[in-house]
Structure 1
Amino acid sequence: MNKKVISALLCGAMVLGTVSPVMAAGAAEGKTFAIVTKAAGNPYNEKEAQGFKEIIEAEGGTAIIKHPETATADAQISVIQSLISQQVDGICIAGNDENALQAALEDAMNEGIKVSCLDAKVNPDSRMTFVNQAGVTEIGEALMDAVLDISGGEGQWAIVSATSQATNQNAWIEAMKEVMKDDKYSKLELVEVAYGDDEPQKSTDVTQALLQTYPDLKVICASTTVGIASAAKVLQDNGSSCKLTGLGLPSEMSEYIGDDDAHSCPYMFLWNPEDVGRLGAYTSIALVNEEITGAVGDKFTAGDLGDYEVTEASDGGTEVILGSPFKFDPSNIEEWKDVY
């Protein structure tokens, strides 16, 4: 399946009323662009960085990939300071903390570096715009409807998240809680939000603790790709009656996807992380070339991904939304497990 088809399925091109500026070939030539992920050893982060690097180099630029050693703000601050000293043209960062990076990112912008974020946002004062993989409300609705469906409409359920400071995770969880206020979710009881810190072993440990603490637990919703893979193995290895849904990589979750008792996860959701990185690259290029400023209403073309418009984000800043979450289930997991 080619990249255009992947982008069409997972993202959907935005239909705009006016023509967006089209980047000239070699739009990044002679410039240096950095992507800063949350931490090393995270397959999702690696796919994002791969997509970012692909576009920057295809447009003639130099791509710098930085995977901090730990998923902390302090680790990212050290990386940002290093990039400032290297005088890069653009930084695109997945924030480990919404507010703690502000001073470092403001220093970068004061040096003329165009700063954007992707995947997990930093606060509006720390960025020019945010490349959002999907709308927060849409993710919250998709996950809550999955919990409702898989649980049979009632019972105890829990969340396995990344870190307690992860802005994207927290936004999705808050969206889920808001959706839960609807009467149709009234028989569902959220018993705990557990944090696996995007570490496989800790995510395994918190899943096991949930099962021990809540023997009647019906569903775990893991809003992180590391967490869902760890939880899936725990549930399936133990033959648990508790089921799983959330956000996961098809390549890591294919053996757990199924609608029978032998599989722990009936279905899950995600987007293409490489496309998140690609859109992050196109956004960085557009900012550096001053085709956009990050203001509401700015428009640009992101190669095969299509045309995009900068819109207002819920935190008062701006964002560019890649598309809606895509459902992976037994009917399509074999097709997608070799893609990413």
Structure 2
Amino acid sequence: MQRAGVSRSLTGLAALLALVLGSTACDDAGSPAPDNEDRPSNAVASSTDPKADIKKGLTIGFVPKQADSAYFALAGRGGRKAVTDMGSTFVEKAPESAADTSGQVAAVNALRAQGVDAIVISAQSTDALCPALKKALADGIKVVTYDSDTRPECRNIFVSQASAQDLGWIEVELIGKQIGYRGEIAVLSGGRSATNQNTWIRYMKNELADGYQEMKIVGIAYGDDDPAKSRAEFRRLLAEHPDLKGVVSPTTVGLKAAADYLSVSPYKGKVALTGLGTPNDMRPYVKNGTVEQFALWDPSELGEVAAHAALSLASGKISGKAGQGFWAVGTGWFIPAENGVVTLGEPTVFDAKNIDVYDF
């Protein structure tokens, strides 16, 4: 059930846009020419110079969804590398829990008080963070969201790991292939207010309605990206839905917790499991046959690109306006689209044939 047009390679898109716009938007050296129509960065007007150098000595603050997360540790590692390689300072403030929006608000306020040049945040909530982020913007601090977005007016750029539509489709397709595109499925999500999780689930439902009419979501559980709660919620789904054929967990914590339980339960081989996970977390469960396939992008690359977006914003090279490209060292050109959204690229599908190639 391959869907046409699913591949959206960012590098290819950026190259194409650069080629199309080259005669009017680039100088002879290939650098984008100044754009006199930059919109104000929310409440703060700013001018940009795409030929400007990336400043050294900046301070970039990262706010992941939670501490002690393998996924966000990888994203932070990529962000730290990008920031330090460019001669600036990386700081990180993380709430203890993935459900702790108030902890993220406190982190944003602490970074404001510290006087950072940019904040890079994976938003717990679409709305609850906006007041704090708008205050940061009013202070002249640039704001980049990554992994999970807030409202467009509350940040400059959102670095998306993949298009939400593609992620919704691939989750449905992976589970559908394993259950013969027929039967009851359930979703083990992260937090109820998680912007990215809810968006992907909405697209999953759209995909099911459009082309997978013999599959049906019969339950959605929320593990709050806590291993113990995710495991308990997965067990509850299995107990409450005896005809369940498969479960999708679009969160790395939830997928690992579910796989850990499924691997030693009588449901192994009877209920299919897929979702979003890291190869290192999921390798044992792919090797022992608990999970056939799952998907993800490279979290460290996501962190790198988000950091480079923040550095370019804080250096005055871009404002976040659609069409203003920035260079992420080792990764390529990225060009924000409507509402300042940058897409990393399509996710990778991992299985027994390729999982040993990856180490993250």
Q: Under a length normalisation based on structure 1, what TM-score does the superposition of the two structures give?
A: 0.91
Secondary structure of 2:217 counterpart: strand
The aligned counterpart of 2:35 is none
Amino acid aligned to 1:172:
W
Amino acid aligned to 1:171:
T
| Conserved? CA contact 1:20–1:300, under 8 Å | no
The aligned counterpart of 1:219 is 246
Amino acid aligned to 1:203:
S
For 2:357 and 2:97, the matched residues in 1 are separated by 33
* Offset of residue 11 of structure 1: 6.6
The aligned counterpart of 1:199 is 226
For 2:284 and 2:156, the matched residues in 1 are separated by 40
| Conserved? CA contact 1:34–1:63, under 8 Å | yes
Question: What percent of counterpart residues are identical?
Answer: 33
Return 5+ residue gaps in structure 2 as ranges. Answer: 1-8, 23-29, 33-48
The aligned counterpart of 1:163 is 191
| Conserved? CA contact 1:26–1:60, under 8 Å | no
* Offset of residue 23 of structure 1: 8.9
Of 230-239 and 162-171, more deviation after overlay is shown by: 230-239
**Is structure 2 residue 303 aligned with structure 1 residue 274?**
no
Secondary structure of 2:209 counterpart: coil
* Offset of residue 12 of structure 1: 4.6
Secondary structure of 1:257 counterpart: helix
| Conserved? CA contact 1:27–1:60, under 8 Å | no
Secondary structure of 1:237 counterpart: coil
**Is structure 2 residue 103 aligned with structure 1 residue 75?**
yes
The aligned counterpart of 1:103 is 131
**Is structure 2 residue 171 aligned with structure 1 residue 143?**
yes
Amino acid aligned to 1:244:
L
For 1:41 and 1:239, the matched residues in 2 are separated by 31
The aligned counterpart of 1:86 is 114
Q: Which has the larger radius of gyration?
A: 2
Structural RMSD (CA): 1.8
Aligned length, in residue pairs: 321
Report matched runs for 1:196-275 at 5 Å: 196-240=223-267, 241-257=270-286, 262-275=288-301
Q: Under a length normalisation based on structure 2, what TM-score does the superposition of the two structures give?
A: 0.86
The aligned counterpart of 2:201 is 173
The aligned counterpart of 1:6 is none
For 2:181 and 2:151, the matched residues in 1 are separated by 36
Of 275-284 and 234-243, more deviation after overlay is shown by: 234-243
For 2:285 and 2:223, the matched residues in 1 are separated by 19
| Conserved? CA contact 2:52–2:315, under 8 Å | no
The aligned counterpart of 2:26 is none
The aligned counterpart of 1:7 is none
* Offset of residue 93 of structure 1: 0.4
**Is structure 2 residue 150 aligned with structure 1 residue 128?**
no
